[in-house]
Amino acid sequence: MSPLLQGIATILIGVGGCVGYFYGANLLLDRVIFPPSGRDPGANISRANAVRPWLFMAPAMAALGLYLVYPVLGSFWRSLFNRDGGSFIGLGNYTDLAADPAFRTAVLNNLLWVLVVPAASTFLGLVAAQLTDRIRWGNIAKSIIFMPMAISFVGASLIWKFVYANEADIGLLNAIRAALGFDDPIDVIQIPFWNNFFLMAILIWIQTGFAMVILSAALRGIPDETIEAAILDGANPFQIFFRIMVPQITGTILVVWTTITILVLKVFDIVYTMTGGNFGTQILPSYMMSYMFKDDGRATAVAFVIMLIVLPVMVWNILQARKEMR
Amino acid sequence: MQLIAMAGPVAAALTLAAGAAHAQGLVFTPGEDDRFSWPSYEAFAESHDLSGKTLDISGVWTGPDKDLVESVLAYFEAATGARVRYSGSESFEQDIVIAAQAGSAPNIAVFPQPGLAADMARRGFLSPLGADTADWVRANYAAGESWVDLGTYEDEIGAEALYGFFYKIDVKSLVWYVPDAFAEAGYEVPDTLEDLKALTERIAEEGGTPWCIGLGSGAATGWPATDWVEDLMLRREAPGTYDAWVSHQIPFNDPAVVGAIEDYGWFARNDAYVEGGAQAVATTDFRESPAGLFTFPPGCYMHRQASFIDTYFPEGSEIGLDVDFFYFPAYAERDLGRPVLGAGTLWAITRESEAAHVFIDFLKTPIAHEVWMAQSGFLTPFTGASPEAYATDSMRAQGEILTSATTFRFDGSDLMPGEIGADAFWKGMVAYTTGRSDAETAAQEIERRWNAIR
């Protein structure tokens, strides 16, 4: 069968199956299980209506259970075993993690990333959104700022590898240094502690565009009356921005902030391609990667730790998004 | 439905025709060209008949390598009348385990390194090659005992036997240099490691930079340093110590290992000895690191790297003329012979059949080696294969390093558990090279991680 036919067949079976399920399930519920007849038709109708939502949600819940809940539980179970899954070692992988200085470095670095990247991206995005709304070539500026979003993390890392290159003829950073009269190129990727920030710059570069787009939409949603009133009251531009506009879009800012935070906790490509976790730049996902396919028990344990850290941020994010929607 | 029913016979007929055409399409006509050892091939052909039998082979070789191995297999088909089906897979290492567990293993598998083969032997998936094959390897391979050891594994009950037949080897103990640059500065190829160190000092004193070293390799950053340490380990300690190190019978921070790491540091941690200074070593990409050899004046005079590195030399540079290599020499005072570090693939029987054993016998004929030698990218320690068959002088010279080896050892980091050989060791070497930790601390950290394996 040609791929086209396969595709069409898949769509037909999928859509037909869904329609068939809902139609059939409804029919079964209304005609067979709780028919609106017999001694008390009213009670049967209300019973059927109580069951109906569950019936309709069942496929989605089954899919979520299979692809989300089961893997989470399965991963936790797997993390209690040794490297090849052969013997049960309880929480051994977790106690080993706690004792591993490299793991602690990864946690601390991750903490640094979580504090710096979302804050910087959101702030820069907010400023960019406000400023580009005010100028004529704002849309061009917006497109340029947004463009890195379209680049993969690995691609972005490669670009920045050139920016940071240890030679003045290749590396932009060292070229600027050379132009300023320093004749020794520096390798910023190797400067202890600060190299983390040079890696973060890449993610900030990528994510600022995202923050800008969302926040720009939120800024446009602010009623003009509040700003006019502030102008009439003699507020200066800074006061208008920080006292009038920002408070009105706090919800959006928080959603953007937490969304980027979740991303930061997952991102590993940048560290993996830039340093491979060397020079003290390890973060949790890249730390996990160094065990993956080698010691699956340990790698799953790290994955579980990451999930535990992401979870509260996730919950907070959903609550905020809900509040926004009201 | 009818279409599918038809497809079976048609496909079978097609592959049969292809197989027949294949058997005829031998790259070198038997009997012609006296670089090849035809008599032994003809004797093999006369004494074996496998007409109507088939042999399934799976391996790691894909793309051009698949064509090359099939060119060798064609001779086996022509000699015995058997039909060989070779399938190469990018994910061979997963596929073969799944196939073995499902009971659908091919007759023969080509493993990229001993680790997985040893693992499969322990689970009872491999068939022993027999004592006669072990004796044959011992007698006909240079450093034969090393090759027998590398192919000998324990089975389910812990009994040792030869399971792996090594074939297609890469040599790692090479130092690349530019003969013209050496001649101009009046340097000579050193015969001993003492001479190499003296040469290093002399180049630095005369204002040159002796070495180009680059450890950068993305997430695998650091691996070139592990090759250095392994090579030096073989030159400082008896092979038994190397084996004990690789199999963790001695701790990673054993003084012998720390000594080898420090010896590597003698070259790599001295700003005057490496292009760009010691700091640059860790982030210079290994693919770009040989570039210094080809600049004028030379950015560096020597580069220690395996045979594959010529791929990254400037386009059109001819080995032997623009650039050449010499054997990374051994210490004269330690008297450990000529150890060679390398890597390679091995054949093993994953499902018994008469054809499988005949095929292993076929590998003992020189022709099974010479056909590939005469094409590209193939080195053999088999002393019976005619060195004349090598396609180029540089391959012949590398082959000679292999056949004149007294000890051969497999890349140690490939034999260690993944998180050590392909992570902790790399990272430890980066930390040591950049001066973030000393040899003792780096080795201790690797040892700690090795002990943490459950």
- The pLDDT tens digits of the residues spanning B298-351 come to 999 999 999 889 889 998 888 888 999 999 999 999 999 999 999 999 999 999
Which chain A residues are Cβ-neighbours of B221 within 8 angstroms?
275-276, 278
Query: Is B436 close to A280, i.e. CB distance below 8 A?
Result: yes
Within 10 A of B244 (CB to CB), how many other CB atoms are there? Answer: 17
DSSP state of B324: E
Chain A from 98 to 127: CB within 8 A of any B CB: 99-100
Residue B221 neighbours by CB under 8 Å, 6+ apart? A275, A276, A278, B215, B282, B283, B426, B430
Cβ-based contacts under 8 A for chains A and B: 67
Query: Is A192 close to B434, i.e. CB distance below 8 A?
Result: no
Task: Considering only the beta carbons, identify the residue of A82, A99, A293 that sits closest to B454.
Answer: A82
Residue B96 neighbours by CB under 8 Å, 6+ apart? B58, B105, B109, B111, B116, B120, B350
Closest CA to B211 of B277, B263, B259, B296: B277
pTM: 0.82
Q: Is omega for the bond preceding A36 within 30 degrees of 0, making it cis?
A: no
In this predicted structure, what is the pLDDT of residue B6?
Answer: 44
Which chain B residues are Cβ-neighbours of A199 within 8 angstroms?
none
Q: Where are the beta strands (DSSP E) in chain A?
A: none
Chain A from 256 to 295: CB within 8 A of any B CB: 272-273, 275-280, 289-291, 293-295
Query: Is A96 close to B452, i.e. CB distance below 8 A?
Result: yes
In this predicted structure, what is the pLDDT of residue B3?
Answer: 44
- What mean pLDDT comes out for the span B386-413? 92
In this predicted structure, what is the pLDDT of residue B364?
Answer: 95
Distance of CA B201 to the CA centre of its chain: 31
Query: Is A290 close to B419, i.e. CB distance below 8 A?
Result: yes
In this predicted structure, what is the pLDDT of residue A165?
Answer: 87
Report the distance separating Cα A251 and Cα A240, nearest Å: 18
For the stretch B338-367, pLDDT in tens is 999 999 999 999 999 999 999 999 999 999
Which chain B residues are Cβ-neighbours of A295 within 8 angstroms?
418-419, 453
Token reading at B327: 């054997």
In this predicted structure, what is the pLDDT of residue B5?
Answer: 45
The chain B residue lying nearest A86, using CA atoms, is: B454
Question: What phi and psi values does residue A178 have, to the nearest 5 degrees?
Answer: -65, -40
Report the distance separating Cα B36 and Cα B388, nearest Å: 8
For chain B, give the mean pLDDT.
90
- The nearest CA of chain B is from the CA of A301 a distance in Å of 13
For the stretch B188-219, pLDDT in tens is 999 999 999 999 999 999 999 999 999 988 87
DSSP state of A68: I
Mean pLDDT per block of 10 residues along chain A (326 residues) reads 89 94 89 80 84 89 93 93 86 91 92 95 94 87 92 92 87 90 86 92 95 92 90 90 90 91 90 88 90 86 92 87 79
In this predicted structure, what is the pLDDT of residue B8?
Answer: 43
Chain B from 218 to 237: CB within 8 A of any A CB: 218-222
Query: Is A277 close to B222, i.e. CB distance below 8 A?
Result: no
Report the distance separating Cα B301 and Cα B215, nearest Å: 18
Report the distance separating Cα A44 and Cα A189, nearest Å: 70
Distance of CA A134 to the CA centre of its chain: 30
Query: Is A273 close to B422, i.e. CB distance below 8 A?
Result: no
In this predicted structure, what is the pLDDT of residue B17?
Answer: 41
The chain B residue lying nearest A100, using CA atoms, is: B449
In this predicted structure, what is the pLDDT of residue B362?
Answer: 95
Region of B391 on the Ramachandran plot (φ > 0 left; ψ -120 to 50 alpha; else beta): alpha
In this predicted structure, what is the pLDDT of residue B24?
Answer: 52
Chain B from 394 to 413: CB within 8 A of any A CB: none
Distance of CA B339 to the CA centre of its chain: 14
In this predicted structure, what is the pLDDT of residue A1?
Answer: 67
In this predicted structure, what is the pLDDT of residue A281?
Answer: 92
The chain B residue lying nearest A154, using CA atoms, is: B218
For the stretch A110-140, pLDDT in tens is 999 999 999 999 999 999 999 988 788 888 9
Closest CA to B224 of B165, B309, B158: B309
Query: Is A272 close to B219, i.e. CB distance below 8 A?
Result: yes
Within 10 A of A38 (CB to CB), how many other CB atoms are there? Answer: 9
Report the distance separating Cα A241 and Cα A129, nearest Å: 12
- What mean pLDDT comes out for the span B410-436? 91
User: For the range B134-140, what are the long-range contacts, defined as Cβ-Cβ under 8 Å and sequence gap of 24 or more?
Assistant: B134/B162, B136/B364, B137/B162, B137/B165, B137/B166, B140/B364, B140/B382, B140/B383, B140/B384
Over 80: is that where the pLDDT of B438 sits?
yes
Which chain B residues are Cβ-neighbours of A299 within 8 angstroms?
none
Break chain A down into helix, strand, coil percent, rounded to 5. 80, 0, 20
Break chain B down into helix, strand, coil percent, rounded to 5. 50, 15, 35
In this predicted structure, what is the pLDDT of residue B298?
Answer: 93
Q: Are A284 and A106 in contact (CB under 8 A)?
A: yes
Within 10 A of A235 (CB to CB), how many other CB atoms are there? Answer: 16
Residue B342's identity, in one-letter code, is G
Chain A contact for B419 (CB, 8 A cutoff): yes
